[in-house]
Amino acid sequence: MSIRHGLLALLDEGPRYGYQLRTEFEARTGATWPLNVGQVYTTLSRLERDGLVEAAGEDEEGHQFYGVTEAGRAELRAWFDTPVPRTNPPRDELAIKLAMAVTVPGVDVSAVVQGQRRHSIKALQDYTRLKGRALAGPHSSGKGARPGAAPSASNELAWLLVLDQLIFQTEAEIRWLDHCETRLAQQAELQQTRAAEPARDDAAAPAKRGRRLRA
């Protein structure tokens, strides 16, 4: 899981204590996925249980430091070397909602699509605004990182990559919505044509005769 490997990656740079790990994790991901200290300590104790990190002493203020073990380093390399699995796609609420909307009578599916598109474009606008700031200047613009997280070029880059991911993912959703709309329109047209066909058959007696002859 990502918190586990995220912490291993941070510890790979040298021993750290819990609060420090939280701050650094958030500095790199722009606090997009905030961690609470409790999660950090739970994860650390599991990592320790599995032999991937070990206690590395305390400082004078009583902070418990942790360091990565050889096994932990191997685990981290393996994580970087292995693609993130896509075999079990996460449940997507929107996909489920549309799948239900097309089957439940009386739902205005185009309204669902347009409402979602407006919402997603707005999110995209907001992410883009954050990116504009990130591109324009150093960390000073303040995007929520906690004090103590040293601003650095590599943290800026990490945050930009996370933002880009949010942007591309939202864009993909909007493109899919556009596609759904086209498909719905095509389907509606097809149904209209089908509905019109039997009527034409009834009216066109010669066609009926033809069919009987063939049979």
Positions touching other proteins (CB under 8 A) are: 31-34, 39, 114, 117-130, 132-133, 135-136, 143-144, 167-168, 170-171, 174-175, 178, 181-182
CA–CA gap between residue 139 and residue 148 (Å, rounded): 13
Residue pointed to by tokens 């004078």: 60
Q: At 56, phi and psi to the nearest 5?
A: -130, 40
Q: How far is the CB of 164 from other proteins (least distance, A)?
A: 9
Closest to 113 in 3D by CA, of 126, 128, 95, 125: 95
Instruction: Kindly tell me which of 73 and 131 has the beta carbon lying closer to other proteins.
Output: 131
Instruction: Kindly tell me which of 103 and 140 has the beta carbon lying closer to other proteins.
Output: 140
Q: How far is the CB of 198 from other proteins (least distance, A)?
A: 29
Q: How far is the CB of 202 from other proteins (least distance, A)?
A: 30
Q: For residue 145, what are the β-bridge partners?
A: none
Structure tokens at 25: 């994790």
Instruction: Kindly tell me which of 42 and 192 has the beta carbon lying closer to other proteins.
Output: 42
CA–CA gap between residue 142 and residue 32 (Å, rounded): 14
Q: How far is the CB of 104 from other proteins (least distance, A)?
A: 23
Structure tokens at 175: 């493109």
Instruction: Kindly tell me which of 30 and 68 has the beta carbon lying closer to other proteins.
Output: 30
